[in-house]
Amino acid sequence: MSPRTRFLPALLVLALACVTNHARAQRYLLKDNSVIPANAATLRDGQLIATANFAGGGVFERRIALGDIARLDFPIPDGLAEAEAALLAGNHAESLRLVTPIYQRFAPFAAIPGSYFVQAARLRLQAQMASGDEANATATANELIRLDLSPEIKGIAHMALAEIVARKGQPDVAALMIEEIVKDAPPVVQARAWLLRGELATRRAAHEEAAEAFLRVQAFYGDQESLMPAALLGAGRALRAYGDKAMSERILGDLLDNYTGTAEAAAAKKELGF
């Protein structure tokens, strides 16, 4: 075998390695199957402007409509995971600080597969709601509804609006909104609806009803991990107010054991007197 072919497999491996590394680079995959490296393109006037080299030398600009982008091939943005962790830990301001640039960056590509806009928007909305910034949360929610990206994110946005209505002292209106939102809604929206129902019942001091609403999240939507800390904390408090101290402690214990580091676990720790 010639030296060239002997080393071919090794070269192939190296080539594969290079391709692997380049797979984590940022790329726009167009509908015509061409690929634009992100570092060779900028967004301007609602279009993607890609620079390319002429074969004989020189550079030209290629204008690409956003609608011609089939998919974004981007790694998970730095800060997204940290933003989620900060939100879970109760650091809403920090979460907002981390997620807002990601939200803004992917906003033009909101509906394109591979975009991280939906994840960023969801986190941003949650952070705004958690920090009580209802004005901005309303704006974010309305924007998400307008974009109509998926039943899930649209439902989450509607639920946020319902929650704002409840916070403004219109629980009956909020309840009616919830009933409409959950019709044919995906599980994540239904789970959020039960969370909000639990909160509304808590405000009415209907503790048994509140406990059942919160516990429904655990019973029927166990895969909605991000909602579980709030559900368990709400249930624990409602059960204690109802008078079932043993069950309350069991639920709060579940929260402490399984969701350490969350703001809800910290609250549970305090309430259990640890």
Q: List residues binding other proteins (CB under 8 A).
A: 1-2, 5, 8-9, 13, 211-212, 215-216, 218-220, 222-223, 235, 239, 244, 247, 250
Q: Which two tokens stand for residue 221?
A: 């939507």
In the bound state with other proteins, the residue whose beta carbon lies nearer, of 43 and 205, is 205
In the bound state with other proteins, the residue whose beta carbon lies nearer, of 90 and 236, is 236
CB 118 within 8 A of CB 157: no
Smallest gap from Cβ 229 to other proteins, in A, equals 16
CA dihedral 104, 110, 126, 137 (to 10 degrees): 70
CA distance 9 to 25: 25
CB 174 within 8 A of CB 196: yes
In the bound state with other proteins, the residue whose beta carbon lies nearer, of 22 and 168, is 22
Smallest gap from Cβ 176 to other proteins, in A, equals 22
Smallest gap from Cβ 78 to other proteins, in A, equals 21
Smallest gap from Cβ 213 to other proteins, in A, equals 10
In the bound state with other proteins, the residue whose beta carbon lies nearer, of 59 and 246, is 246
In this structure, the chain runs to a length of 274
Q: Which two tokens stand for residue 256?
A: 């402490």
Nearest to 216, CA basis, from 201, 197, 200, 203:
197
- Burial of 272 from C-beta contacts in 10 A (0-12 / 13-18 / 19+): middle
Smallest gap from Cβ 216 to other proteins, in A, equals 6
In the bound state with other proteins, the residue whose beta carbon lies nearer, of 148 and 225, is 225
CA distance 187 to 192: 9
